[in-house]
C-alpha cells in the first residue's frame, strides 16, 4: 500500500479501538477518512508534511483480461488505489495516478494485510518495493534516473502491540515487519553496495493503519537515504 507518501489535508476526529477481527484491521466502508503526519529524516535535512486518505466506494475498470473491481481509496494527491477484500487478506489490484485517464491493473494482486487463518504471528510473504527516500545525488542522477525495485519479505510480527499516536492510543494492533536488500552500483572501485531496508506497519482494529516506520540507512556521496515516520493524526468512520 504504501507508496501513499504524498501531500494534503483532511478533517478528523479521535477514536479508540477495542474489538478484534480479521476484517476490522483494514476497513473499507465508503466515506471513511484518515489523516497522517509524515516525517522524513534525511542526511540533508528534515521534512514534515501531511497525507489524507478517504474511501470513495466500490468501482470497476476494464482491462484486456476482463473487469477489475475493488474499493477505491483516494489519497490527497489524487492517486486512487483499488483494494479487494478476499478470504485470506486485503489486496491492491489496481492504481490510477492523477495524470492518468484510467486505472492500471497490477500485474498480480499485491497483499497488503492477511486475514483469516493467515493473520497469525510468523506468516510471511514477499513483494517488490521501491525506496521511499533513497535517491541519487548529482551528477549521478543523470545516469541513474531511478532506483530499481527490490524484494522485501514481510512477516506478521505481533497481534498485540499498543501504539500511541496523535489520534489516540490503540491496543491489540497487528505489527508487520519487513526487511529488504537494496543493491546499487557505487563506482568502479567500490563496486556493488548492499543496503538493508527495515520497514514496519501497525494496524488497529476498527481503524486500519495507524503507524508506519521505514529506515533506508544510506549516506554516501552518490546516494542519500533516511527515515520515514507516518502517524495517524485523525480518523472519521
Peptide bond into 139 cis (omega under 30): yes
Who's near 43: CB < 8 A, 6+ residues apart? Answer: 219, 224, 225, 226
- Triad 174, 24, 76: Cα angle to 5°: 85
d(CA 127, CA 178): 10
Torsion of CA 163, 56, 79, 69, to 10 degrees: 110
Bridge partners (DSSP) of residue 59 are: 70
3-state secondary structure of 30: coil
Residue 22 has φ and ψ, to the nearest 5°, of -55, -45
Are the C-beta atoms of 236 and 29 separated by less than 8 Å?
Answer: no
What's the start-to-end Cα distance of the chain, in Å?
20
Residue 15 has φ and ψ, to the nearest 5°, of -135, 165
Who's near 199: CB < 8 A, 6+ residues apart? Answer: 129, 152, 154, 177, 178, 179, 180, 212, 213, 214, 215
d(CA 128, CA 150): 5
Region 22-236: CATH code: 2.40.360
Q: What is the pTM of this model?
A: 0.85
Spell out the domain ranges in the chain: 22-236
Are the C-beta atoms of 232 and 221 separated by less than 8 Å?
Answer: no
| Residue 140: predicted pLDDT | 65
Are the C-beta atoms of 75 and 96 separated by less than 8 Å?
Answer: no
| Residue 44: predicted pLDDT | 75
Bridge partners (DSSP) of residue 151 are: 128
Closest C-alpha among 176, 164, 198, 170 to residue 120: 176
- Residue by residue, pLDDT tens for the chain (237 residues) are 444 433 332 223 233 333 333 458 999 999 999 999 999 988 778 889 999 999 999 999 999 889 999 999 999 999 999 999 999 999 999 999 999 989 999 999 999 999 999 999 999 999 999 888 877 677 665 445 557 789 999 999 999 999 999 999 999 999 999 999 988 766 656 667 788 999 999 999 999 999 999 999 877 777 788 999 999 999 998
Amino acid at each position: 500500500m504504501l507508496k501513499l507518501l504524498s501531500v494534503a489535508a483532511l478533517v478528523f476526529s479521535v477514536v479508540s479501538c477495542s474489538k478484534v477481527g480479521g476484517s476490522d484491521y483494514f476497513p473499507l466502508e465508503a466515506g471513511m477518512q484518515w489523516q497522517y503526519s509524515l516525517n522524513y529524516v534525511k542526511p540533508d535535512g528534515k521534512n514534515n508534511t501531511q497525507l489524507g486518505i478517504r474511501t470513495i466506494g466500490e468501482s470497476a475498470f476494464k482491462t484486456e483480461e476482463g473487469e477489475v473491481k475493488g474499493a477505491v481509496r483516494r489519497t490527497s494527491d489524487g492517486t486512487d488505489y483499488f483494494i479487494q477484500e478476499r478470504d485470506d487478506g486485503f489486496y491492491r489490484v489496481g492504481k490510477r495516478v492523477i495524470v492518468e485517464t484510467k486505472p492500471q491493473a497490477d500485474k498480480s494482486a499485491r497483499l497488503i494485510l492477511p486475514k483469516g487463518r493467515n493473520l497469525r504471528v510468523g506468516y510471511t510473504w514477499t513483494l517488490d518495493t521501491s525506496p521511499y527516500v533513497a535517491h541519487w545525488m548529482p551528477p549521478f542522477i543523470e545516469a541513474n534516473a531511478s532506483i530499481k525495485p527490490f524484494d522485501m519479505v514481510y512477516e506478521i510480527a505481533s497481534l498485540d502491540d499498543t501504539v500511541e499516536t496523535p489520534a489516540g492510543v490503540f491496543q491489540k494492533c497487528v505489527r508487520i515487519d519487513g526487511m529488504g536488500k537494496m543493491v546499487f552500483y557505487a563506482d568502479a572501485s567500490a563496486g556493488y553496495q548492499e543496503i538493508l531496508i527495515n520497514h514496519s506497519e501497525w494496524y488497529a482494529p476498527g481503524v486500519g493503519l495507524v503507524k508506519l516506520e521505514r529506515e533506508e540507512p544510506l549516506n554516501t556521496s552518490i546516494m542519500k537515504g533516511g527515515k520515514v515516520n507516518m502517524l495517524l493524526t485523525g480518523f472519521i468512520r
